[in-house]
Amino acid sequence: MKSPVSELRPIPVVFICLMCLGVLHMSAQERYKPAFSFSLFGETSRFAIGDLNKAIDSYNHNSYFEYLRSSQPDLISGSLDPLPHASTNLGMELRCHLSGRIALGVTLMAPYHLSNYSTITYAVVGGAGAQITSRSDRNTIKAGFSLLLTAHYSLIRNAIFGLSVHAGVAYRPAHHKLTREYDIQYPLGGRSLANWSWDLSRSFPIGFHSGLGFSARLSRKLALIVEATVRVMDIGHLTGRYRGTSSSFDPEGNLDFTNSYYGSGTLYYFSIFDDLIGTRYETVSVYESRPSEGGIDWISDVRNANLNLNGYSIRLGVMVNLF
């Protein structure tokens, strides 16, 4: 049986240690008068993304598509692109300097979004001719205003520059939105169109961060700041609403039927066998309840999908001493 301490993540432990150092340091400097500073900065961040990009990559490079690209490139065009890994945005921090070395900061980060749109078209040739399928995906990850609570501990602090470590917790609300469209043209004529979409989120997602900060004084009240931060933010159990429609047309272009559906559920990651192209790949989809393994699609390895926002950030900005 594992010790409870061994289950703690490194970054929360660092945050707790910094807070304890702050209490000890303040007790040793009871006469210190708290001071305040305000920072404004730009931030460049890198994200892992995780299951969403893994599913795109698995579909885009399945064995049938790879065979077409190498042997019959005229039967396939385009590709599904992964979500971008980088973003830039702005933030500001109000910091309370509790002692000569310990400070507690509250940071507000501006919203950001990562998005892409891509299309792949491929053909499956049978005795009646070629069935041509086009799939278009628009994926978006949006994050609203984020709130961070950070403890800072100064390792070096003098009139010219400072070096510190920091760690904290963060509330980062994020949404994953998908819009997908299918256009299928049958070899004997006729056509099918389908589209569906979902908007998913996790209630009250909490993450952790830790890193190093450097400051260089430009004047008595103004300093340049540079910070490097590692982020732990793995958002699971994404839930929300989905909806879709599908329509079928005869060879003359007349509508045969239209179906609509909608509901709510959870995003799952699993392996599926695509009978049309005769290959298996990983995918994500929303179900009202956990999908059963097996069935006509040979579903296997089902688990909750994760939106992995782990990564790192680099900040560059200015700090103003208020009072």
Closest by Cα among 237, 240, 223 to 321: 223
Pairing mode of beta strands 129-143, 146-157: unpaired
pTM given for the model: 0.85
List, in order of start, the domains of the chain with CATH numbers.
7-26+34-321 (2.40.160.20)
User: What is the C-alpha separation between 144 and 111, in angstroms, rounded?
Assistant: 4
Reported as a single tens digit per residue, the pLDDT across 32-80 is 678 999 999 999 999 999 999 999 999 999 999 999 999 999 999 999 9
Closest by Cα among 263, 276, 315, 271 to 291: 271
Reported as a single tens digit per residue, the pLDDT across 105-158 is 999 999 989 999 999 999 999 888 999 999 999 999 998 899 999 999 999 988
pLDDT above 80 (res 31): no
Residue 259's identity, in one-letter code, is: N
Q: What angle do CA 248, 122, 193 make, to 5 degrees?
A: 15
